[in-house]
Amino acid sequence: MLVDYHLHTARCGHARGTMEEFVLAARGKGLKEIGFADHIPMYWLPDEHRDPELAMSYAELPVYMEEILALRAKYTEMTIKLGIEADYIPGREEELSQFLSCYDFDYVLGSVHYVESWGFDNPAYIARYKEWDIDELYHRYFDLVQQAARSGLFNVMAHPDLVKKFGYRPQGSLHDLYAETARVFKSAGVYVEINTAGLRAPVGEIYPNHEFLQYCIKHGIRFTIGSDAHLPEQVGEGFEQIPLLVSESNIVRL
C-alpha cells in the first residue's frame, strides 16, 4: 500500500487547494496514509527577503500544524502525518537545527533547491543554466546533497537528483557521483525519497533516476514515496510508474 509523504498546500504561495482537498483527493485514490511536507519558512533569509510565493511565513506555521491536527481528528480512517520540507543551506545548519527542535514534526524532508543562492529548480531562473558548465553544476549539486545528508538534520533526502529537472544533462558519466552519494546516504542513515514530480517536469523522469536508485538499493537504503503535489489532483500521481525494483520491503513508514 503506497503512502504519499510529500504534499504541499496553498500556504506556500505557489500551490493550490486546501489541506482538506488534499486529504479528500488522497482518500479518493485509495491512500490510507499521507503526510504534508510544505516548504519551511525561509529561515536563512532576513524577514524582508522571504518570498511569500516560495514558502509559508513563520506566522502561518502554527496554523499549518493545527490544521493537520484538526484533519487527523476529522478523518480518523486515514493516517495524516505532519512533516516539513526543509531547505539545506550550507552554513545555516545551526539555525535549521534550532528551528526544527522547536516543533514536533513526524519527519523532515531535506531538500537542495539552491546552488550558491540560485533557485535552480525555479522556472523563473532557468536562464541561468546557460551560465554554468553543467558537469560542474552537477558536482556542486551532489556535493550539497551529500552535505545535507551528513548534517543529520533530515530523515529523508527529497528528490535527490533535482538538478536534472529542466533536462540539462552533463556530458560526463554520473556513475561515480551516484555511487558516492548512495554511500553517503547509507552511512548518514537517511532514507531517500522516490519523487514522482519529475514526471511532470521537462525531464519527464522520476527522482532519483534508475541508475541512482539501483545504487541506493545496492546499499540497502530504504525509501519513502512522494508526489510533491502542489495541486490536490496531483496526490499519488505517477505512483504506478515507480520501478518494480522498489518493493514493499524497502519502503518505510515514518
Kindly list the residues in this chain that would bind Zn ion in the complex (CB under 5 A): 111
- Closer residue to Zn ion in complex, CB, 16/218: 16
Sign of torsion over alpha carbons 191, 145, 187, 220: positive
Which residue's Cβ has the minimum distance to Zn ion?
111
Cis peptide before 243 (omega within 30 of 0): no
- Closer residue to Zn ion in complex, CB, 56/82: 56
Cβ at position 39, least distance to Zn ion in Å: 6
Cβ at position 70, least distance to Zn ion in Å: 23
> What distance in Å separates the CA atoms of residue 79 and residue 165, rounded to the nearest whole number?
31
- Closer residue to Zn ion in complex, CB, 179/199: 199
Cβ at position 159, least distance to Zn ion in Å: 6
> What distance in Å separates the CA atoms of residue 73 and residue 12, rounded to the nearest whole number?
23
- Closer residue to Zn ion in complex, CB, 174/230: 230
By the 8 A CB rule, do 246 and 223 touch? yes
- Closer residue to Zn ion in complex, CB, 6/23: 6
Cβ at position 11, least distance to Zn ion in Å: 11
- Across the beta sheet with 4-7, the strand order is 4-7, 33-39, 79-87, 107-111, 156-157, 191-195, 223-226
By the 8 A CB rule, do 230 and 179 touch? no
Cβ at position 172, least distance to Zn ion in Å: 25
- Closer residue to Zn ion in complex, CB, 3/230: 230
- Closer residue to Zn ion in complex, CB, 111/234: 111
Write the CA distances from 239 to 51, 194, 196, 199, integer angstroms.
Answer: 31, 9, 7, 10
Query: Residue 11 has which C-alpha cell?
Result: 500556504
Closest C-alpha among 168, 178, 232 to residue 205 = 168
Cβ at position 55, least distance to Zn ion in Å: 8
Cβ at position 123, least distance to Zn ion in Å: 12
- Give the HSE-up count for residue 48: Cα atoms under 13 Å, Cβ half-sphere: 0
